[in-house]
Amino acid sequence: MSLFAARDIAIQFGGIKAVDAVTFDVKQGEVFSIIGPNGAGKTTIFNLISRIYNLTSGELIFNGKNVTKVPPHEIAALGIARTFQNIELFSQATLLQNLLIGRHCHVKTNLLSQFAFLPPARDAELAHREKVEDVISFLDLQRYRNTLIANLPYGVRKVVELGRALCIEPKLLLLDEPSSGLNVEETEAMAFWIDDIKKDLGITVIMVEHDMKLVSAVSDRVMALNYGRVIALGSPGEVQTHPEVVRAYIGGEA
Amino acid sequence: MEDAARLLQLVINGAAGGCIYGVIALGFVLIYKASEMINFAQGDLMMLGGFVAFSLIAGMGLNYWVGAALAIAIMAVFGFLLDSVVLRRVIGQPQFAVIMLTLGLGFIFRAAAGISFGYGSVTFVTPFTNKVENFGDIAIGQDSLSIVFGTVVLCAVLYAFFSKTRIGIAMQAASQNQLAAYCMGIPVRTIFSLIWGISAAASAVAGILLAPSTVLDVNMGFLGFKAFAAAVLGGFGSIPGALVGGVVIGIVEQLAGYYLPAGFQDVTWNSMLLLVLIVRPQGLFAETQRKKV
Amino acid sequence: MLQQLKTTYTQDISLFANRNAVISYAVLILALLLVPAVLGEFYVGELGGVFIFAIAGVGLMLLTGYTGLVNLGQAAFLGIGAYTNAVLMTKGVPFIFTLPLAGLVSALFGVLLAIPTMRMTGFYLAIATLAFGSIIGTVFQKWTSVTGGFDGFAVPTPSIFGFPIEGTNGVYYLSLLVLIFVIWLAINILRSPVGRAMVAIRDSEISAQSMGINLSLYKTISFATSSGITGLAGALFAHYVRFLAPDSFDILLSIQFVTIIFVGGLGSLHGAIFGAMFVRLLPQFIAIVRDDLPFGIGRMPGLEPSLFGLVLVLVILFEPLGMHGRWLKIKAWLKDFPLHRRSGIRRQKTYARSERLR
């Protein structure tokens, strides 16, 4: 069954249709990749799903619920987490704090209890901490626990952002170019993690990615975009050899 | 009919005062457009400019025009040095650090002026002081006329500079895209310092123009905050907008001073400022923008 | 000094880092309790002033240092707190109620300021708060039926359960108590989800939103707590000055508050305390050494504001982490002595973070 569906979604910036009548379904438990040349509208789709942009038309359905008009800060609580292309971590906070912020959508203690740090608040903090520790050991981040993000190397930050998204305990994970800026080894580690996230944690993944090797390694299905329109959708092999996709990447008349 | 004449008088005086705010606001905007820095000491630069001109003309007995030109040149060099020695160091720090830095510089300028020129107020007699032109029912001081005229000349000069000269076009390029400008071989850092120089010179012009209609004192730089309101009103980033904003603030202030009880002048322009910020957070002319992820 | 290893998760969320910290803070509080018995009234009064400014500093630190929202109108909240407290007391409300009410009313005004400024960042917010502060300042001067206008009015002596809190010592102990409460409150906030949400908003609004943080709600909370705490400081300030004049809450006072957190060190509670010490004690220090300086420097008019500005400029240029940051560096230097290397604490290079969309 499909966990997420986009129906005819479109957004216009001025006169430019960044995303134009795009429709796709993502099945429970699959890794769904979106590829396409620069400016094809891949990240824009993510920004639409996480409600940073408002749709010009179309519908977003998640878990059987219409989420087209949900405010952006309620998306996480529904179970949709995301990472960002250029890393949007909280750079003047420690790794631990960053991951704990990922737990924010599960915070249930009231404000008064937090202000006085009453026992319920304390217990909740410890419970969140245990969850965060699970993610830290899953991603092997123990030794950076109390390091400021600003002092971490780029490759580690990329992993921290993945970790922060996992702390949300999402049903659907949006990864925006998880391998950009990573070296070959780091990209391989990322491929393993994405596979683990799918198989061990059972999280459905939508991924925007340029690295075709990573895409073919982990994806179940691939959708190719060009100029905001879907040009191909199918298995990684099918899409890569699709004539329109080849033309979009290599050039020629679109 | 007397009321209409009075209204007209107020509007004209307000517009003249507003030109001063507009010229200072223009300084803010130039710097902001170039380097995204906000100079909270712009009003104090005006104060310094006024005092430098005063000491050259009244103190050393120079001819008014020579003294004024010299004062503007001195302030331009000062602005250039200010950027290349101090402000350049905080590039890349949060905007708020720059605000605090320039506030601190303002304290220093005020103290420096106080030590050199004293804390009392000084009357600066210029060729325009206490001369009145009569146009029918309305009497307009030459000081006001000189402000309006000076502002127009300054704007024409700046316009010609930015659109016609090579260096002016380079400045426009640098403020639109630093990196691209740098790659095209434009010395971006020097350009920024030059812009600070121009901005300080503009403030000095404001100080000299303002001198005949008021007295010079160390705390006159606080009217820089009104210039702020002007810049915001016009949409930070638009030079004509800043001038229009200045004139609007000046007129509103004059009218409020006449029709409202004493002490409410500041509330009027502050409320206007707040209102604009609330209704159009990015200013009246600029478009709302959002960081891209 | 050996690094203390952590063995349980609770250590990260406990009030004190370790046993040594408990002992040193206990000694500090004891020493502060004994101050009035040892030092003269002048010093007690000055320290009381430091406490009051430190309270306001902690308030502003939560807003500016932790949530990243600038406020150049903080003096207005001090004034609102001071007038709420003093006016209610002249109406016969006991101090035990007027103190929290002062905080509450200030917090309400904080919300009032937060709502329209919600979408502003950077210097737009700075200008908006500046305008707000100026408007409230004018209200103090013009609303003569309540504030007494330029004549001001004398603040009644507070009493708690019939015990009058009199003189310099009374205000000193009261301020110390409130300061300790406020620091406790701030630590609680910072170790709770609220505090983390504030930090998240400071560092990246867009990603905070995607983590489920309601920006408007948490910005409002931050404004309310910050101004509420400053309102408490205001209530104490009324008793500290004993005579309220409307022109004491002007923009220069607001700039002093921002200087507190900047010079002290953004993003640390210690910083707020250090900063308050600097701002309050610098003028007294100048007054003391004035006659001993050579060439009559001490008699130069405007020495105080120029030093004030100079320190602000130097701190921003050379020590963006403020006095607290410098203190941490000295501590690290002592710890590693004599094997200290400069590179260990080198400043992170930051590149321009443009707020424009290119």
Asked whether the predicted pLDDT for residue C299 surpasses 50, the reply is yes
Mutation for C interface: B38, B44, B96, most C CBs within 10 A: B96
Question: Is the separation of the CB atoms in A97 and A149 below 8 Å?
Answer: no
For the residues C60-73, what does the mean pLDDT come to? 93
The span from the CA of B70 to the CA of B287, in Å, is 39
Bridge pairing between strands A2-13 and A204-208 = unpaired
Q: Which among C322, C289, C316, C321 has a CA at the least distance from the CA of C304?
A: C289
B9 domain residue, yes or no: no
Contact list, B266 vs chain C (CB under 8 Å): 134-135, 138
Residue range C81-130, pLDDT digits in tens: 999 999 999 998 999 999 999 999 999 999 999 998 888 877 788 888 99
Mutation for A interface: C207, C268, C321, most A CBs within 10 A: C207
For the residues A33-57, what does the mean pLDDT come to? 91
Q: Which among C59, C241, C230, C74 has a CA at the least distance from the CA of C168?
A: C241
Lowest pLDDT segment from A207-211, B8-12, B103-107, B127-131: B127-131
Q: C344 or A56: whose pLDDT is higher?
A: A56
The span from the CA of B138 to the CA of A88, in Å, is 61
Question: Residues 6 or more apart from B10 whose CB is under 8 A from it?
Answer: B251, B254, B255, B258
Contact list, A111 vs chain C (CB under 8 Å): 194, 221
Q: How confident is the model at residue C298 (pLDDT cuts 50, 70, 90)?
A: low
DSSP SS3 for C210: helix
Q: Compute CA distances C276 → C31, C273, C280, C292, C306, whole Å.
A: 19, 5, 6, 25, 18
Residue range B27-86, pLDDT digits in tens: 988 888 887 788 999 999 999 999 999 889 888 888 888 999 999 999 999 999 999 999
Contact list, B229 vs chain C (CB under 8 Å): 127, 131
Contact list, A175 vs chain C (CB under 8 Å): none
Residue range B93-112, pLDDT digits in tens: 777 888 889 989 998 998 88
B96 domain residue, yes or no: yes
The span from the CA of A74 to the CA of B246, in Å, is 43
Residue range C253-279, pLDDT digits in tens: 999 999 999 899 888 899 999 999 999
Element (H, E) at C119: none
CA C284 to chain CA centroid, Å, is 19
Q: Compute CA distances B248 → B2, B188, B203, B253, B284, whole Å.
A: 23, 34, 19, 8, 13
Q: How confident is the model at residue C295 (pLDDT cuts 50, 70, 90)?
A: low
Q: Is B255 on the interface with C (CB under 8 A)?
A: no
Whether the predicted interface score ipTM is above 0.95: no
Nearest CA in chain C to A107: C193
Other beta carbons less than 10 A from residue B61's beta carbon = 8
Contact list, C204 vs chain A (CB under 8 Å): 88-91
For the residues A172-192, what does the mean pLDDT come to? 92
Q: B262 or C80: whose pLDDT is higher?
A: C80
Q: Is A150 on the interface with B (CB under 8 A)?
A: no
Question: Is the separation of the CB atoms in B42 and B226 below 8 Å?
Answer: no
Contact list, B293 vs chain C (CB under 8 Å): 206-207
Asked whether the predicted pLDDT for residue A142 surpasses 50, the reply is yes
Measure CB to CB from residue B92 to each of C305, C312, C352 and give the nearest one: C352
pLDDT value for C355: 42
| Phi (first) and psi of residue A182, to 5 degrees | -95, 150
For the residues B88-94, what does the mean pLDDT come to? 79
Question: Residues 6 or more apart from B211 whose CB is under 8 A from it?
Answer: B50, B53, B54, B124, B126
In angstroms, the separation between the Cα of residue C206 and the nearest Cα of chain A is 8
Q: Which of residues 199 through 228 in chain B touch C, CB cutoff 8 A? A: 225, 228
Asked whether the predicted pLDDT for residue B199 surpasses 50, the reply is yes
Q: Is C159 exposed, middle or buried (0-12, 13-18, 19+ CB in 10 A)?
A: middle
Question: Residues 6 or more apart from A216 whose CB is under 8 A from it?
Answer: A236, A237, A240
B256 domain residue, yes or no: no
Q: Is B271 in contact with C126 (Cβ distance < 8 A)?
A: no
pLDDT value for C354: 43
Bridge pairing between strands A229-234 and C153-154 = unpaired
Q: Where are the alpha helices (DSSP H) in chain B?
A: 2-35, 42-54, 64-81, 95-117, 142-164, 166-176, 178-183, 188-210, 224-233, 239-259, 265-279
The span from the CA of A136 to the CA of C125, in Å, is 37
Token pair recorded at residue B79: 């602005």
% of chain C beyond a pLDDT of 70: 91
B8 domain residue, yes or no: no
Q: How confident is the model at residue B138 (pLDDT cuts 50, 70, 90)?
A: confident
pLDDT value for B211: 83
Q: Chains meeting A at 3+ CB pairs closer than 8 A?
A: B, C
The span from the CA of C240 to the CA of C55, in Å, is 14
Local structure of residue B180 (DSSP, 8 states): H
Q: Compute CA distances C225 → C198, C203, C219, whole Å.
A: 12, 20, 10
For the residues A218-238, what does the mean pLDDT come to? 93
Bridge pairing between strands A221-226 and A229-234 = antiparallel
Q: Is B264 on the interface with C (CB under 8 A)?
A: yes
DSSP SS3 for B88: helix
Lowest pLDDT segment from B221-230, B257-266, C183-192: B257-266
Lowest pLDDT segment from B108-112, B219-223, C145-149, C177-181: C145-149
Q: Which among B11, B23, B8 has a CA at the least distance from the CA of B149?
A: B23
Asked whether the predicted pLDDT for residue A134 surpasses 80, the reply is yes
For the residues B234-240, what does the mean pLDDT come to? 79
Asked whether the predicted pLDDT for residue C192 surpasses 90, the reply is yes
Q: Is C123 in contact with B99 (Cβ distance < 8 A)?
A: yes
pLDDT value for C341: 61
Q: Is B92 in contact with C351 (Cβ distance < 8 A)?
A: yes
Contact list, B36 vs chain C (CB under 8 Å): 352, 354-356
Q: Is A43 on the interface with B (CB under 8 A)?
A: yes
Q: Is A77 on the interface with B (CB under 8 A)?
A: no
Contact list, B293 vs chain A (CB under 8 Å): 43, 47, 52, 84-86, 88
For the residues C188-209, what does the mean pLDDT come to? 94
Mutation for A interface: B96, B289, B293, most A CBs within 10 A: B293
Q: Which of residues 143 through 182 in chain B touch C, CB cutoff 8 A? A: 177-178
Q: Is C357 in contact with B281 (Cβ distance < 8 A)?
A: no
Asked whether the predicted pLDDT for residue A254 surpasses 50, the reply is no
For the residues A36-45, what does the mean pLDDT come to? 89
Please identify which residue in the block is written with the tokens 């004018």.
C138
pLDDT value for C342: 56
- What's chain A's average pLDDT? 92
Distance in Å from the first CA to the final CA of chain A: 34
Measure CB to CB from residue C206 to each of A81, A88, A100 and give the nearest one: A88
Residue range B151-179, pLDDT digits in tens: 889 988 988 888 888 888 888 888 777 77
pLDDT value for C32: 92
Other beta carbons less than 10 A from residue B238's beta carbon = 18
Measure CB to CB from residue B101 to each of C132, C300, C313 and give the nearest one: C313
Nearest CA in chain C to A52: C206
Q: Is C191 in contact with A133 (Cβ distance < 8 A)?
A: no
Q: Compute CA distances C144 → B14, C22, C140, whole Å.
A: 29, 49, 8
Domains identified in chain C and CATH numbers: 9-357 (1.10.3470)
Q: Compute CA distances B223 → B40, B87, B218, C310, whole Å.
A: 11, 22, 11, 22
Listed ranges A4-8, C240-244, C321-325; the one with the highest mean pLDDT: A4-8
pLDDT value for B283: 59
Q: Is C211 in contact with A77 (Cβ distance < 8 A)?
A: no
Asked whether the predicted pLDDT for residue B126 surpasses 80, the reply is no
DSSP SS3 for B197: helix
Q: What domain range is B167 assigned to?
A: 20-221
pLDDT value for C340: 64
Task: State the Cα torsion B273-B278-B279-B284 to the nearest 10°.
Answer: 50
Measure CB to CB from residue C214 to each of A73, A82, A121 and give the nearest one: A73
For the residues B223-233, what does the mean pLDDT come to? 86
Burial code of C191-214, b = ≥16 C-beta within 10 A, e = fewer? bbbbbbbbbbbbbbbbbbbbbbbb
Q: Compute CA distances B279 → A159, A220, B274, C65, C310, whole Å.
A: 41, 48, 9, 27, 37
Mutation for C interface: B37, B82, B103, B292, most C CBs within 10 A: B103
Question: Residues 6 or more apart from A37 whose CB is under 8 A from it?
Answer: A226, A248, A249
Q: Is B115 in contact with C300 (Cβ distance < 8 A)?
A: yes
Q: How confident is the model at residue C350 (pLDDT cuts 50, 70, 90)?
A: very low
Asked whether the predicted pLDDT for residue C358 surpasses 60, the reply is no
B180 domain residue, yes or no: yes
Burial code of B256-271, b = ≥16 C-beta within 10 A, e = fewer? bbeeeeeeebbbbbbb
For the CA atoms of chain A, what is the radius of gyration? 19
CA A6 to chain CA centroid, Å, is 16
Q: Is C116 on the interface with B (CB under 8 A)?
A: yes
In angstroms, the separation between the Cα of residue A241 and the nearest Cα of chain C is 35
Q: Is C164 on the interface with B (CB under 8 A)?
A: no
Asked whether the predicted pLDDT for residue C77 surpasses 90, the reply is yes
Asked whether the predicted pLDDT for residue B144 surpasses 90, the reply is no
Q: Which among C74, C24, C20, C52 has a CA at the least distance from the CA of C272?
A: C52
Asked whether the predicted pLDDT for residue A165 surpasses 90, the reply is yes
Q: How confident is the model at residue B282 (pLDDT cuts 50, 70, 90)?
A: low
pLDDT value for C351: 41
B240 domain residue, yes or no: no
- What's chain C's average pLDDT? 86
For the residues B237-264, what does the mean pLDDT come to? 85
Q: Is A97 in contact with C196 (Cβ distance < 8 A)?
A: yes
B237 domain residue, yes or no: no
For the residues C347-355, what does the mean pLDDT come to? 43
Q: Is C204 in contact with A90 (Cβ distance < 8 A)?
A: yes
In angstroms, the separation between the Cα of residue B95 and the nearest Cα of chain A is 16
The span from the CA of B15 to the CA of B254, in Å, is 9
Q: How confident is the model at residue B148 (pLDDT cuts 50, 70, 90)?
A: confident
pLDDT value for C346: 47
| Phi (first) and psi of residue B155, to 5 degrees | -65, -40
B227 domain residue, yes or no: no
State which amino acid sits at residue B25: A
The span from the CA of A114 to the CA of C66, in Å, is 17
State which amino acid sits at residue C183: I
Residue range C137-159, pLDDT digits in tens: 888 888 888 877 777 788 888 88
Domain count, chain B: 1
Q: Chains meeting C at 3+ CB pairs closer than 8 A?
A: A, B
